[in-house]
Amino acid sequence: MEKMSYTLIGKHEKDKRANRDGYVTAMIDLMGKDDKIVHIDCDLEGCINVGKIAKEFPDRVFNAGIAEQNAMGVASGLAATGYKVFMHSFGCFASRRAFDQAFLAAGYSEVPVHVIGSDPGVTAAFNGATHMPFEDAALYMTIPNAVVLDSCDFAQTYALTKACAAYDQISYLRLIRKGFTTVYADGSEFEIGKGVTLKEGKDVTIIASGIMVDEALKAEEALAGEGISAKVVDMFCWKPIDEELILESAKETGCIVTAENHQVGCGLGSAVANVLVKNAPVPMEMVGIQNRFGQVGDQAFLMKEYNLTAEDIVAAAKKAIARK
């Protein structure tokens, strides 16, 4: 597995690149070195620019059509014969629709199928409620030995794609397709099972992932302006989760806020709570989807609608601090 070596940019600037190209670029690099790596798609190649991979390796890119269960079965079969398989669909279909095959054919069989679920949570935007997965990661977290990841930008997507390729069992990576805010410099590396401390603080810890990492950094700045010192952690790996860092943060700051683009009751918030309640109970607040379905709208509107903004994190931090 990759060891961590990262550079924080954190200037809240939109990247001109599409985040999906972090995956595509990593795959082209990987496939050039390992002829056992293949990509399977579900008639959504254009959505993540798989054509770039197919141009380089036409005999190792397959379209299973709009048949996610079949795609997962084919992926598992190939993996059982020695291939390292990356399988992509929108997160809603890569999780809910293909889950039985993911659990049994890939998970139970302990074969390297690396599932890419694009458009997680509110990033599905105008695709609407039917295509807006708030529970995708939760399903994969139930598979023993699965790795579950929520990437935030191009550099992290690139690095985590490579980290998945080195893992010999099932993994699930939530992939922002298009617009994103740069958090890390290119060349940053990350270790599965380890969170990243982006800011040190003493009053409250904010643990975030995916699109919420930049919101957490904005919240830290706003809190600092009010004399509140916040520690910020990018917990991009939900499973296995970094228990040591969670407990260290709880001891240092005395309260925790989680921030995720996912249902809080079965995602990052609940995973962090599971660690705390067994070892070091502290006041905790969860920013994320609160038992709701998705809807149509642009991402900025949806982040306000579902209380996924820096302002919501600030409010949660103050509430957690008041409970100490």
Residues 43-93: tens digit of each pLDDT: 888 888 899 999 999 999 999 999 999 999 999 999 999 999 999 999 999
| pLDDT at site 2 | 55
* pLDDT at residue number 306: 98
Q: Cβ of 279: how many Cβ atoms within 10 Å?
A: 11
The span from the CA of 199 to the CA of 218, in Å, is 11
Lowest mean pLDDT: which of 57-66, 116-125, 173-182?
173-182
pTM above 0.85? yes
Residue 287: which pLDDT band, with cuts at 50, 70 and 90?
very high
Task: Report the pLDDT averaged over residues 174-182.
Answer: 88
List domains and CATH numbers for the chain: 20-175 (3.40.50.970), 196-322 (3.40.50.920)
Pick 290 or 11 by higher pLDDT. 290
pLDDT digits (tens, 9 = 90+) for 125-146: 999 999 999 999 999 999 999 9
Q: What is the reported pLDDT for 15?
A: 85
Res 43: pLDDT = 87
Q: What is the pLDDT of residue 3?
A: 67
| Residue 55: other Cβ atoms inside 10 A | 10
| pLDDT, position 179 | 76
Whether the per-residue pLDDT at 106 is higher than 80: the answer is yes
